[in-house]
Amino acid sequence: MRALTWHGKHDVRVETVDDPEILNPRDAIIRVTSTAICGSDLHLYDGYIPTMMAGDILGHEFMGEVVETGPGSTLRKGQRVVVPFTISCGGCFHCGKHQYSACENSLPADNQDIGRELYGHPTAGLFGYSHMTGGYSGGQAEYVRVPFSDVGPIVVPDDVPDDDVLFLSDILPTGWQAAENAQIEQGDTVAVWGCGPVGLFCVQAAFLMGAERVIAIDHFPHRLELARRFGAETIDFEESKTYEALMEMTGGIGPDACIDAVGLEAHGFFVDNVIDQIKASTFLGTDRIHSIRQAIIACRKGGRVSMPAVYGGYVDKFPLGALMEKGLTLRTGQTHVQHYMPGLLNAILDGKIDTTFLISHRLPLEQAAEGYKMFHDRQNEVTKIVLKPGLEIAPAAA
């Protein structure tokens, strides 16, 4: 089959590799019809995620058609499914509590050592995201082996276009969980740092959960315009002073809930021996830490801070005093995708949530490497690239 493989920093290639096979009873093989490049894929592209190996297939946002099933799968050939980026067994203590991203059984035993060392406990396996998260081949390919196919993939109706439901795989549930973690109450003012895909879904979710106002913070004009389209007021942090603006826009109270969706593109986990390297990099260093620090400082007393943004290691100058003295609640975590999929699928089918507005580019899988470069170099107008295996190659990439 054809697949997008990683070979090193800024070196990804579409290659022919051997096909996936059913290995365990609950596996299914999916023929991919749509797969997106996630912001977090750029961190693999930039070479910041350890435990990558040459030839690894990337991609964790994908959907497709069931073409083969193991004896323990509940799927049927021909069904269309969206696959969660988190791999979860459905039967362990955490899955029983719907804490799917904390699944105890989806990460292969040998790959659990690093998580235990770094975080005290290993977490769930992920598709296409290094060997620390299981070494599972990802979805930017023609076919994928999907473990625990009786638990993860959600079947979607035949008449719904891929573009409407693809983001159930990651970013829509991630934005929704972030808004839920903000414990929004009627009349709240919610501030969202970062207008990437997750931040933009936070804006929509916050209004649906009863927020009266949402204030979106970014520096890309096009992304701020998208936030505005969903009813948010905006702060361009290169044009205005964020803290002062937030205080003036809330009568000095501060936002009731603050969501840090800046570092969200980094689903990754960084081991401590590369933390210095990460800090030295321009975009993973102080800026990312800056956003959560600013969210805590700006949040009203007794307010809620939600952090879908992923931090992988240790941070300096974390405002623990502000958190304590103001009595804030901080909630965070990798997304429990399976928990949110059914409800969000219904919300999409009922027309309550729009997801397709995000897609700025559609490319054939064959042009995936160009897609990475484009996404990396032009973040203002490239909001989301969807790859379609079999799509005819455009004469010239946009």
Partner 1 sequence: MSADTPNSEWPDEAPPTTSKHGDRARIAGEELIEPKGDSLSGVTLTIDRPRADLFAFWRDFSNLARFMENVIDIEVLDARRSRWVVKAPANRTVEWISIVTEESEGDFIAWASEPDAPVPNSGRVDFRDAPGGRGTWVSATILYDPPAGFIGKAIAKMFQREPAIQARRDLRRFKQLMETGEVATGARNRRLLEEGKN
Cα–Cα distance, 290 to 181 (Å, whole number) = 20
**Residue 20, interface with partner 1 (CB under 8 A)?**
yes
Residues in the chain: 398
- Restricted to residues 100-139, the positions that interact with partner 1 (CB under 8 A) are 104-113, 125, 131, 134-137
In the complex, minimum distance from the CB of residue 66 to partner 1, in angstroms, rounded to a whole number = 17
List the x/- string, 30-69, binding to partner 1 by CB under 8 A: ---------------------------x------------
> Residue 310 Cβ, how far from partner 1 at the closest point, in Å?
20
CB of 11 to partner 1, least distance (A): 20
Range in contact with partner 1 (rule: CB under 8 A) among 13-21, 177-185, 223-231, 322-330: 13-21
By CB under 8 A, the residues from 76 to 95 that bind partner 1 are: 89, 91-93
- Is-contact 49 126, C-beta < 8 A? no
- Which one, 75 or 298, has the nearer CB to partner 1? 75
- Asked if 382 and 397 touch (Cβ cutoff 8 Å), the reply is no
Under rule CB under 8 A, residue 381 binds partner 1: no
Of 111 and 189, the one with the shorter C-beta distance to partner 1 is 111
Give yes or no for residue 97 binding partner 1 (CB under 8 A). Answer: no
Q: How far is the CB of 42 from partner 1 (least distance, A)?
A: 22
Q: Pick from 8, 25, 302, 390: which binds partner 1 (CB under 8 A)?
A: 25
Query: What is the sign of the dihedral through the CA atoms of 300, 251, 197 and 162?
Result: positive
Q: Please, which of residues 306-365 interact with partner 1 by CB under 8 A? A: none
How many residues line the site for partner 1 (CB under 8 A)?
Answer: 34
Estimate the crossing angle of helix 197-208 against helix 221-229, to 10 degrees: 20
Q: How far is the CB of 130 from partner 1 (least distance, A)?
A: 10
Closest by CA position to 1, among listed 14, 16, 11: 16
**b/e for 173-207, b at 16 or more Cβ within 10 A?**
bbbbbbbbbbebeeebbbbbbbbbbbbbbbbbbbb
Least Cβ distance, residue 110 to partner 1 (angstroms): 6
Whole-number Å distance between alpha carbons of 245 and 235: 8
CB of 145 to partner 1, least distance (A): 6
**Window 204 to 243, contacts with partner 1 (CB under 8 A):** none
Which parts of 155-196 fold into alpha helices (H)?
162-165, 171-181
SS3 of residue 78 by DSSP = coil
Nearer Cβ to partner 1 (96/157): 96
Which burial class, exposed, middle or buried, applies to 126 when counting CB atoms under 10 A from its CB (0-12, 13-18, 19+)?
A: buried
Amino acid at 104: E
Q: How far apart are CA 126 and CA 199, in angstroms?
A: 22
For residue 197, the number of C-alpha atoms closer than 13 Å in the C-beta half-sphere is: 31
Please report whether residue 19 would count as binding partner 1 according to CB under 8 A: yes
d(CA 218, CA 198): 13
Pick from 7, 33, 42, 72 the residue near partner 1 by CB under 8 A. 72
- Near partner 1 in 144-203, by CB under 8 A: 145, 147-148
Q: Which is nearer to partner 1, 86 or 106 (CB)?
A: 106
For Cα atoms 369, 158, 24, give the angle at the middle one, nearest 5 degrees.
65
Interface positions with partner 1 (CB under 8 A): 18-21, 23-26, 57, 72, 89, 91-93, 96, 104-113, 125, 131, 134-137, 145, 147-148
